[in-house]
Amino acid sequence: MSEAAPGRTHCAYSRLMPAHTVFSKGFFGDAALDYQARAMLGRSTHGASEPGEVLETLDRIHDHASWSQQWSVTATRLQEHAGRLGDGDDRAGAAAAYLRAASYWAAVVDGLAETDDETGLRAAFDQHRDCWDAFVGCSDGAHVRADTPYEGTVLPGYLLRPDASGARRPTMVLVNGSDGALTGLWNEAAAGALQRGLNAYIFDGPGQQSMLFRHSMPFRPDWEAVLTPVLDMLVARPDVDADRLVGYGVSQGGYWLPRSLCFEHRLIAAIADPGVVDVSSSWFEHLGKGMTGLLDRGDRAAFDRDMRLATLIPHLRRTLKFRARPYGAGTDWFDVFCAVRDYRLTPELAARIETPLMITDPQDEQFWPGQSQQLAGMLGDLAHRVEFTAAEGANFHCQPLGRARTDERVFDWLAHRLPFAP
């Protein structure tokens, strides 16, 4: 759609790109926008988007700036619609509309996170969470707030349950990626867990969403320091079966969850979607040997000088700023790249893992190619690597257009290790 400006006729558009080849040709010429478009469309699997709303919004988007602008229009319109439904008697309709509005506001946040508009970012994030909380509030008690005490503060979280009975159930703990919203976790595994009688616990950890935007708390590589207090909180609840806990790590969570399993052994099974053994590889891929050498030698001045020159390119500066922010190293590029290097799972650490781990391995993985195979090799018989392909509509990072197929394989594998509640 990047080739067809808003207002062009269908005939003009069809001469540029046959509409039925969008899966292979892409929604946008820009790879980042194309991936985000696929992810948003894929969230319709569990109601976190609506195909017509997504496609109509994409029709109005032609660059990074218009991405946030146009999703804001759609999110505002739907949020108002959800409010009208909530004022009436259709709580189910209001819940569905609030969920989609939360997802669309998350798209606004994604776009603004790559800009200097801090005020707009905070406002969009607040709208996202307001809509999410309204969705939770429409669940008639099935979904509840459940924060985790953590180092003198709390990590905001939600225990999503199939109903409000309070029955003791197996529970899936979801670990998000570097910049994912809660609505992404809903689609990636939480909704599938609820459909099969499990609870799903979702939360913001250090450096993620609310902990970054509202509290400026950065990432940490030793995620066992996060997962352990989360599990401590959950096992103390009467509606959580402490003997039937499983984990799901999505995107960069595919590093954090396996890292946690080196030290935390209360999960009886886990999924890494995909497997990540070295977060920094996606940072260093385009750095070049010269720049890497400066980093290895500790030449801060030369490294920062060359990075300042490189970031004169607008799209590179935008992407690096967005990705660097949660690592807590400020604007010093030497410190940023040194910090990212700590996010590695070594074979010595992986040898401590005792938990069976399913590892997704999508074709065309663009961020950490080959690392699912690496992780599986480290774990031996504990690993179950599952390939996803373009031929089944499930390629690219985290299978954005193959979430139903992902659910089917994940929960089929889990069913042999975790008897589901009725």
125-156 pLDDT per residue, tens? 999 999 999 999 999 999 999 999 999 999 99
pLDDT digits (tens), the chain, 422 positions: 333 333 434 444 444 555 689 999 999 999 999 999 999 999 999 999 999 999 999 999 999 999 999 999 999 999 999 999 999 889 999 999 999 999 999 999 999 998 889 999 999 999 999 999 999 999 999 999 999 999 999 999 999 999 999 999 999 999 999 999 999 999 999 999 999 999 999 999 999 999 999 999 999 999 999 999 999 999 999 999 999 999 999 999 999 999 999 999 999 999 999 999 999 998 998 888 999 999 999 999 999 999 888 888 877 777 788 888 899 876 689 999 999 999 999 999 999 999 999 999 999 999 999 999 999 999 999 999 999 999 999 999 999 999 999 999 999 999 988 765 44
Amino acid at 338: C
State pTM to two decimals: 0.92
* CA–CA gap between residue 390 and residue 305 (Å, rounded): 41
Q: Which H or E run includes 148?
A: strand 148-150
Where b means 16+ CB within 10 Å and e means fewer, 2-30 reads bebeeeeeeeebeeebeeeebeeebbbeb
User: pLDDT digit string (tens) for 63-100?
Assistant: 999 999 999 999 999 999 999 999 988 999 999 999 99
Task: List domains and CATH numbers for the chain.
Answer: 10-131 (1.20.1440), 142-279+343-415 (3.40.50.1820), 281-340 (no CATH)
